[in-house]
Each structure stands twice: as structure tokens, then as C-alpha cells.
Amino acid sequence: MNFIKSCAFPALAFAVFTLCSCERNEIHLVFNTQTVTPQSFLLESTLNASLPADSNMVPESMHTHVSVRSTMSLLMPYDNGSGRFEMKIDSVNYNSDKRSVDEFRNIEKYLSIRNFQFKLNHDGIITDPTIENALDMPSEDELNLIPLFLKAQPILPEKPVNLGESWERQMSIPGKGNSATTVYKTFTLQDVYLQDGVRMAKIHMGMKYLELPDTTSNLQLKSSDYVVGDGVVLFDVTHGTLTSAEMNIVAVIDVCDLVAGDTLASMNVNQKITLRNLQ
């Protein structure tokens, strides 16, 4: 009997907490980090990059798409309201117009073992991401799943909010070695509605950050101005889970060849990242 009470109480408290917030014409957006069941996600990234033509160079472009199905499971809930989760990779599909079919298969094999664990706070802040079966990470951003996941991840407000209210949060995205990129995100609660008996929240998400060069590489990418993103989040308030997130990112990236001691033409980058809950 005590076991049943201990299992039921967190879920009941979560439901009552969100209900009370709504009765005050406010909504408390929180991730369920204590009792959530395993969830299946589809993470997709489509990246288009182009180098403009000049007197010495013909225009070049690159198209890359990666699609990853994964299962996110709660490993351990903590007393402070956070939880330890694992993202297990189930399948990978990758293609690029600048790579061979053999390279596709090698990349898919590489990504398929990139399971990772992380600590998720109730507001969506993710810390301590740890990759299992760690190997040397290729420099290409689309082959690093953690930054893709974090760019799509919403950060919820620290207090209940009203419809139309905005908030600002920031997160750190780990890079190679001890480097990290600070990403600034802005959010606005656009709508709250019922869908099949489930309370849903529609949230606008904006993002900006500076692309920092990889100091371990001879070919460095950096942005002199902010990389900017714009997207929409659908959040399941009833169950405290992400339904979907979409982010469209635009950037102008400077490419520097340290070996040749030359800065190449700036590269225009457009990237679309989507994260969908398949439940």
C-alpha cells in the first residue's frame, strides 16, 4: 500500500499543481521529470549551405539531411525535481549531396551508437550530457546530435505565465574539449487549448548565438554576427512533455583555413531542426 501511495502521489501532485495555476488565469509550464513513461522522438535536421560566386570562384552549395528516431527514458528521478534521462538511438537515416553512399552508411553506423544521458530540470534546462560509446566526434555540426537536440529544446519559465507573456532564458551547448556556446532564447506563450482532452500550449521560440571556431581544427568556422533562429513549440501541459519543436536557423559563417592562412568567402547557411514526439 505504501508503494502504491509513493508512486501515485508525484503524478497527482503534478496534475493538481498545473490545475491550480490554470484556475488563476495563469499556466505553469513544467516538464514531468518524476513519473514520465518512455517516449519516442523523431529528430530531423535539414541543412543547406552555399558559397556565393565571385571573380575567382564558382558558386557551390551543399544539402544535408539527417533523421534520427530515438527513445527517451527516465533513469532516475531526483528529490530536487530533476531527473536523469537516457536518449537511446533506435535508427538513423543520413544523406548529403557531397558524400558517397558508403559514407552515408558509415555515418549512420557512427550515429546509431551515439546514445547519451543527461540531467533534465523541470524547466527544461539540460545539464551533464554524456555520450555513451564515445569516439572522436567529426567536426560537421549535423553529425553531433547533442547540439541539434539542445537547439530544439524549449526552456520553460520559472514561474506561471499568462497568455501573451514572454520570458528569456539561456543555455550552454557543449563543444569540443572544454568549449561551450551560450545560446540565448526568447519565448512567448501564444495559445492554450484543449486537444482530445489534453491541455496544450503553443509557444513561440526565438534563438541567437555566436558560432565559435573549433580550436582543434585547421578549418575554422565562425560568425561575426549572431546566428538567429525562429520557431514554434507545442507543449503537452497535462502530461508535462514536449509534443513538438521546430526551429529555422539562418547564419552567415566565415570559413578560415589556418594551414593556408586564408579566409574563404562567407558561407550562407539555412538549417531547419524539428523534434517530434511520436507517442
In three state form, how does the secondary structure of 11-60 look? HHHHHHHHHHHHHCCCECCCCCCCCCCCEEEEEEEEEEEEECCECCECCE
Handedness of CA 261, 264, 270, 271 (dihedral sign): negative
Quote the cell numbers at residue 169: 532564458
Q: How large is the C-alpha radius of gyration of the chain?
A: 20
**pLDDT at res. 21:** 47
Name residues whose C-beta falls within 8 Å of residue 261's C-beta, 6 or more positions apart in sequence.
none
Angle, alpha carbons 45-51-57 (nearest 5°):
155
**DSSP structural state of residue 143:** G
**pLDDT at res. 262:** 64
**pLDDT at res. 241:** 97
The C-alpha atoms of residue 65 and residue 236 are separated, in whole angstroms, by: 28
The C-alpha atoms of residue 74 and residue 239 are separated, in whole angstroms, by: 14
Neighbours of 10 (CB within 10 A): 14
Q: What are the backbone angles phi and psi of residue 56, rounded to the nearest 5°?
A: -110, 0
The C-alpha atoms of residue 30 and residue 123 are separated, in whole angstroms, by: 5
Quote the cell numbers at residue 50: 552555399
Nearest to 89 by CA among 149, 31, 137: 149
Per-residue pLDDT of the chain (279 residues; tens, 9 = 90+): 443 444 444 444 444 444 444 445 789 999 999 999 999 999 999 999 887 766 455 557 888 999 999 999 999 999 999 999 999 999 998 888 877 767 767 777 777 777 889 999 999 999 988 877 655 545 454 467 888 999 999 999 999 999 999 999 999 988 766 778 899 999 999 999 999 999 999 999 999 998 877 666 666 777 788 999 999 999 999 999 999 999 999 998 887 766 666 666 788 899 999 999 998
**pLDDT at res. 5:** 41
Q: How far is CA 178 from CA 22, 170, 172, 174, 206, in A?
A: 42, 18, 12, 8, 26
The C-alpha atoms of residue 212 and residue 175 are separated, in whole angstroms, by: 9
Indicate the length of the chain as a whole number: 279
Quote the cell numbers at residue 74: 527516465
Helices (H), the chain: 2-23, 101-112, 145-152
**pLDDT at res. 219:** 65
Quote the cell numbers at residue 84: 536523469
